[in-house]
Every structure is written in C-alpha cells, then in structure tokens.
A and B are shown apart, each in its own frame.
Chain A
Amino acid sequence: MPPRASKRKSAPPNSSSVTSSDGRSVSNKAQTKGMGKTDRLFNTHVNSSLGMIDPEGIEALCADLGVDYTDVRILMLAWKLKAGKQGYFTQDEWQTGLKALGVDSQLKKELPKLEKEVEKPSNYEDFYTYAFRYCLTEEKQKSVDIESICELLNLVLGVQFRRQVASLVEYLKVQNDYKVINADQWINFLRFCKEISFPDLQNYDANQAWPLILDNFVEWVREKQS
C-alpha cells in the first residue's frame, strides 16, 4: 500500500519533464486539451517540481476518490499503472495505464472496473506478485519484513481467503524461523490459499515442493487443532 507522505524517498526520473513558465510541463499543457477528466485529476495532484504524483499527492488523490489511502484499490491502481516506485505515479504510467483500462471519465466511478480487471484470473496472479514487488523499496531488496507482509496479506487476500489469512498472519507473528519473506514464499502463499482445503488441510503434503515455511505453518495449525 502506498506509504504515508512522511516516508519521502527520491523520486524516479520523470520521462516528460520539459517545464514551461507556469511550472507545468509542456506536454501536460498540450494534452490537457485532448485528454479528459483523468488527466485533470493527475494535474490536480501532481507535484509540479517532480512532474509526478508523490506520496502526498496520492493521499490527496485517495481523498478525492473517496477511498482510504490504505484501501487495496490504490494498490490495484498502482498495478494497473505499472507504477515502478512505491508512492509515486509518473505521468507516463498514469496515462498509459488508464488508457489501457479504458477509463476516460471520472476515475472514481471507474474503480469497480479496476477491481474487475484485477480479479480476472489471468491478471490476478500478476497483481498479487506486483503487490510484493511494490514493497521492495530499497535498491537491492529482495525480501519484505514480516509485519509488512502481514499487512499486505490482509490487504490483498484478506477478503477472499479470510480464514487462511487470519491463521497465517497469526503464525507468521509467533514463529521465529523467518524474519523476512521472499518472493518465492509470497507466491506460494497464494497457491496455498487457492489449492489447499482449509482448515482441515487434508490435501497438504509436505513431501511436495511447498516452501518449508508452509510445512511449518501446517504443522503449527495441526498442533493447535489437536
């Protein structure tokens, strides 16, 4: 989920950064006429010196859209925009992404369309993987800390797989073997929720290629149940 404004980090390079006298980028100005409401939305929240929406702008954007800034739909938006940097939307990303979504009118009204888009089976796994990558804020970072993972799990899978997520989150917080989660483990959490019957765990076989953390999780659940 997008960070709060206080976690300001260096912004990614802006691809369209020719500034005119009024501080707005040239291409922006040119496109204002042609594009619709979405562009205006972008311009409302853009950080003019950066030429892109920054964390503060995103918070404001959320208010505009009538969603909490922790809402999963902002993450979905980031995914659709293929946002490269957590907390920032470049103009390129904005325009390309929303065009692909086929959104022209008020973004607020189009949020359900966004949700449907994400939930398409062909997209969902991509979105899910993206959610993890979105949290890799440092340059060579490959893993995410347990607490953030728990929040992310709740955000992304909490509705569809409520019980599994509740149990898994509880486990992640009490176990000591792992302090961070990597991409491989992350993707297997989804697979686990989709494939394994819960809470009976009947079809889970530790002899298969499940990551060890899930073997341990299953053992923990089974012990609790007995």
Chain B
Amino acid sequence: MGGSLYQRIEKECEEHISAALRSLVGQSPDLVVFLSLVEKCWQDLCDQMLMIRGIALFLDRTYVKQNSNVRSLWDMGLQLFRKHLSLAPEVEHKTVTGLLRMIESERLGEAVDRTLLNHLLKMFTALGIYSESFEKPFLECTSEFYAAEGMKYMQQSDVPDYLKHVEMRLHEENERCFLYLDAITRKPLIATAERQLLESHIPAILDKGFMTLMDGHRIEDLQRMYSLFSRASLDSVLEESFSKNEAFCNTIKDSFEHLINLRQNRPAELIAKFLDEKLRAGNKGISEEELEGTLDKVLVLFRFIQGKDVFEAFYKKDLAKRLLLGKSASIDAEKSMISKLKTECGSQFTNKLEGMFKDIELSKEINESFKQSSQARMKLPSGIEMSVHVLTTGYWPTYPPMDVRLPHELNVYQDIFKEFYLSKYSGRRLMWQNSLGHCVLKADFPKGKKELAVSLFQTVVLMLFNDAQKLSFLDIKDSTGIEDKELRRTLQSLACGKVRVLQKFPKGRDVEDDDSFIFNEGFTAPLYRIKVNAIQMKETVEENTSTTERVFQDRQYQVDAAIVRIMKTRKVLSHTLLITELFQQLKFPIKPADLKKRIESLIDREYLERDKNNPQIYNYLA
C-alpha cells in the first residue's frame, strides 16, 4: 500500500514539475525577468513538496525508511526537478547565463537583486548541480573578466592605485561568497581573481612601481604589495602540501627581501630618513596611536633590510641631530622606537642609542648644577644663558673636527663651564664640538629689535659685524678661521636665503671670493624670534656618502678580524668552510667576491697561506 501511494505521488509530482519547467521554455527574452520566473518555479516546488511531505509524513517515516532504494519525498521532488531541468537544457543554460550576467553587472557597478541570486544559487546547490552547471562557467567568466580588467587598469593607473583597486576587488569577491555564492566557491574564486589581477602582472608591478614606492617612502603601499603578493601565493597553493606552501611563501618573502636589498643601501637610508621625518617635531595632526602604527609598519620593512648597520649609522646620525637641536616631536615616541628596535635586534644594537638619551638627561642635571654653581654665578655675565650638552664619545656619531676662532667672550664662557665640569668630574677630557653649537643672538636692527636663532658658526660671523660695517669674504675667512666650504655655506645662509641678516655684494646665490658683506640695516621680519639655522638640519650629500663609506670601511675591518679569528681557532680550514663560517658570523650582507678580496689581502700580509698540497685549504700563520 505504501509503495503504490508513493508511486502515485511521484507520478503526480512528475507531471506537475515537467509541465512547470516546460512552461519556462521560450519565456521572456529579458534574463532578469526569466530568472524571476525560474525562482518562482523553484519556490513553488519547494512549497508544494513541503506540503506534500507534510501530508504524507507517515509515508516518509515508514515506507521510505523501510525501503533503502526509495528516496524521501523531498528528495524525490528534487530529483524530478533535476531530471526535467536537464530535459530542458535551454532553461538551465538560460538560467546560468542570466546569473552570470547579473554578477558581471554587479562587478561593473550596477545594483542587482542579490536575493534572487542567492535563491537561485541555493537551488543549484540543492539540486546538486552547483559545481558542474554554475561554478565552472562562473570561474571561467571571472577569469576572463579580471584578465581584461587587469590589463586595462595596469595601463591606466599607477602602481599604488592599481594595488588599492586589486585589494578592493578581492574584498568584493569575498563578500560575494557571503551574500550569494556557495562557500565552496571562495577559494577558487579568490585564486582566480588573484591570478589574473596580480600574478600575471607581478613582473610589471615590480618593474613599474616598486622603486617609486621605495623612493617615495610609501610604506603603506609597500605593505599592501607585500601582503597581496604573499596572499596570492598562499591561496593558490593551499591545495598542495604544507611544505610546498611554506616554500612558496618563503619564495615570495625572499624575493621581496632580495628586491629591497637590490638597491644596496638605499632602503636602509630611506627607512632611517622616513623615521627621522616622523619623529621630528612639526608633524602636526598625527596622533600618538597613528605614530605608533606607522612605526610598527616601518619595522615590518626593517626586517627585510640586510645591511642593518647602515640603518644604524643613519638612524644614529639623525637621532643625534634631533636630540641636540631639541627637534624631537616626542621623547616617548623616540623611546618607543628604540625599544621596538631593541626587541628586533637585541640590546647590542640599541645600547649606543640608549646611551645618547642618558647623556641628554645627564646633561640636563649638569646644566642645573652649573647654573647654581659658583663659577656661573660669579664669572658668567648676567644676561648670558649657557647650556651645554656633554656627550660621551662612542655613543654619538663621530663629528669631523671643525676649526673656528671663537670671539674672546665665547672662549671665556667655554672655559668657565670647563672649570665647573672638571671640578665635578676630574680626569675627563672635554672637546668642544663647535660645529654643533647654536645660539640665540639679541640683534638691534633699526627697524626693530630681534632675536636670531643661529648656529655657532653663524654667530661667529655675525659677531664680527659688531665691530665693522662691511667685511669681505676673505676678511671673514681670516678672522673666523672657518674652513672654506663651510664658511661659504654659512654666509649663504645669512645673506642669500629667506632671512637676510647680512647683505652680499654683488648679489647672487653663491658666495665668491671677491664678495663683500654688510650688516643689513633694512632688516625686517614679522616675528620677534627668527630662525636662521635651517642648514644644520639639512643633510649634505657629502654627509650621506661619508656615512655610508664609514660603514663600509668598518665592515672591512670586521671581515678581516673575523677571518683571523676563525683561522686562529681552526688553524687549518678549507675555503668553502671559511666562507660558510664568515657568512654565519657577519651580520651584514657581503658578496663572496669581497670576502675573497679580504682573504687575499690577509695572505699578502702573511696572516694565512694557501696549503702547498691542497690549494683549497688555508693554513693559519702564527
């Protein structure tokens, strides 16, 4: 009895379903309308089957259960629907086409009926034809779409914009999986999009954009590039074994590292410069959190730099300038950066930097006691405020000694401080770094009194004009004893820049030998206190090259020392093993050719020799 009832229900359903589907054939050329019809058809089926099942529940629970080859009523309905759908292939085909068109429209920015998509795709899933009938053509379509878009956008936009666009698209496709696509489509979908938008364009992206981003310190954009590239590889190999996955990921990481370090030391220099800009005062409108966030991002890139000693040299140089000229935006931010570097590279890296901070703090105390001291009270004229930074050599960058003949008064003040300091800390040697000094001068211009914030060298030049109205370049050079190039720069800053405290004759940007200078009677400025020492903060090209050169020279000594150290211990060592050991011990990047150079130099200086019997072996010469 159960059997015959089942069959009759099945027959009824089949007739009904086949008719319903047949009625869709030839319906509506408008795809969206057609899709709504299909949806309605499907919805009706679902409702009706549910009802039938509700009525014939007993049948489901007994007859169906007892007969394993008999489907449940619900499944029967589905199966019938699927059967007759396949008998009307144009309906299925039209449905798929409609769906794909809708998705494409949405990608092109149109608003579409997502619910419709959702229901129909669920229908496909329920019918068990999702992968074959929908997903396959969908992925093909996606591939074509993004292939075309990728090419178009690569030509039209610059790299940072392109990457932003890619990021947005990937986000979109991800959303699509939540909104209407089946979850199983996510992986292949993202992989397809990434393949077309990223992987096929990686060489071009790197070619076009990488260097520009590096040069422009576009940290965020570089971050985006890195994360997109590493994701691209991750997703596409997720199917494969774990080890292959890691290797691929490492390849991307390695390539990135390789690229960053292709430009030798520029990245290290640029990152240090970027940090200097961020940590310097004058960065209005950036909150503490934003700054912290930026510093963290910089650290990500920092990890890729191989020549960290170059970074340290530049960072130290800039930090020194900030600390000495009081240009730090926030000491907390400075200290935060140091502790981040410490976590990254260990305390040896940051010891000296921390030492610099200690010196600054200690100097504050020293200056306090100096003010109270008998020397200051009795010998320093009132109205003269003097503060001194006492720096421990070794913590701070080396500053080339620069000669200058200070005016008598300034010499006296320096001696007064020296006397005070040595009375507290006997046995120390103080060397004045006159190139770093700065002063505030009270100037009496006819059009109004001013305070000029100037460097010590500028001070020395200006004070000459206390006793003379006009001076030639050569006069000034004689009196001040300042080195030629430095003097020209100083005079330029006083007479040829925005703030012209002196006037130069003849006019012109460069300081020539026959130039003369006069006190600018007509000087006027809106503010009372005027800064004229922009030079000290700017770096000269020579400074940068010499910083890098010093690091390289230092590296050479380190290599030599390492070779001798290793050979002294091992006595006898093969070339290959020596090279391996050196790469392990040396913390900066170096080419095997450069190592060979140092080895040959040491052979020449008779620290080691090649073994007579085996040319691959070195012997230590005691």
Query: Which residues of the other chain, A, contact B574 by a CB distance below 8 angstroms?
Result: 209
B354 part of interface (Cβ distance < 8 Å) = no
User: Which residue of chain B has the shortest Cβ distance to A191 in the bound complex?
Assistant: B615
Query: Which chain A residues lie closer than 8 Å to B618 at the CB level?
Result: 209
Give Cα A207 to B580, complex, Å: 11
Which one of B186-194, B438-446, B595-603 contacts A? B595-603
B600 near A212 (CB under 8 angstroms)?
Answer: yes
* B616 on interface, CB distance cutoff 8 Å: yes
B610 — which chain A residues lie within 8 A by C-beta? 184, 209
Inter-chain CA distance A186–B348, complex, in Å, is 43
A207→B600 CA distance, assembly (Å):
14
Q: Does A8 contact B (CB under 8 A)?
A: no
Residues facing B in A59-92 (CB within 8 A) are: none
User: B432-474 toward A: CB 8 Å interface, digit per residue (1/0)?
Assistant: 0000000000000000000000000000000000000000000
- Cα A206 to Cα B591 with chains together (Å): 12
Tell me the bound Cα distance from A207 to B575 in angstroms: 8
Of the residues A184, A188, A209, contact of B616 by C-beta under 8 Å? A209
Interface contact A207-B576, CB-CB below 8 Å: yes
Complex CA–CA separation, A142 to B604 (angstroms): 9
Complex CA–CA separation, A191 to B611 (angstroms)? 13
Whether A182 sits at the interface, judged by CB under 8 Å, is: yes
Partner of B600, one of A142, A184, A206, A208: A184
With A142-B604, A184-B610, A191-B615 already in contact, the answer to whether A212 and B575 are too (CB < 8 A) is no
A120 to B50, CA, bound (A): 105
Q: Is B593 an interface residue (CB 8 A)?
A: yes
- The CA of A209 and the CA of B617, in the complex, are separated in Å by 8
**Chain B contact residues: helix, strand, loop or mixed:** helix
- Among B579, B604, B618, the most chain A Cβ lie within 10 Å of the Cβ of B604
CB of A184 within 8 A of CB of B593, answer no
Q: What are the interface flags for B564-582 relative to A under an 8 Å C-beta threshold, 1 for contact and 0 otherwise? A: 0000000000111001000
CA distance A211 to B604 in the complex (A): 12
- Residues of B near A142 (CB, < 8 A) are 604
The answer to whether B128 has its CB under 8 Å from any CB of chain A is no
Most buried by B among A142, A182, A188, A211: A211
- Contact present for B603 and A208 (CB under 8 Å): no
What chain B residues lie within 8 Å of A208 (beta carbons)? 575-576, 616
Cβ of A78 to closest chain B Cβ, rounded Å: 23
Give Cα A62–Cα B265 distance, bound, in whole angstroms.
Answer: 60
- A207 CB contacts on chain B under 8 angstroms: 576, 579, 592
Give the shortest distance, in Å, between A12 (CB) and chain B (any CB): 25
**Shortest CB–CB separation between residue B144 and chain A, in angstroms?**
41
Contact of B593 among A182, A188, A215 (CB under 8 A): A215
B-chain residues with CB within 8 Å of residue A188 when the two chains form the complex: 615
Tell me the complex Cα distance, A212–B592, Å: 10
A-B CB contact pairs (8 Å), 20 listed:
A142-B604, A182-B604, A184-B603, A184-B604, A184-B610, A188-B615, A191-B615, A206-B592, A207-B576, A207-B579, A207-B592, A208-B576, A208-B616, A209-B574, A209-B610, A209-B616, A209-B617, A211-B600, A212-B593, A212-B596
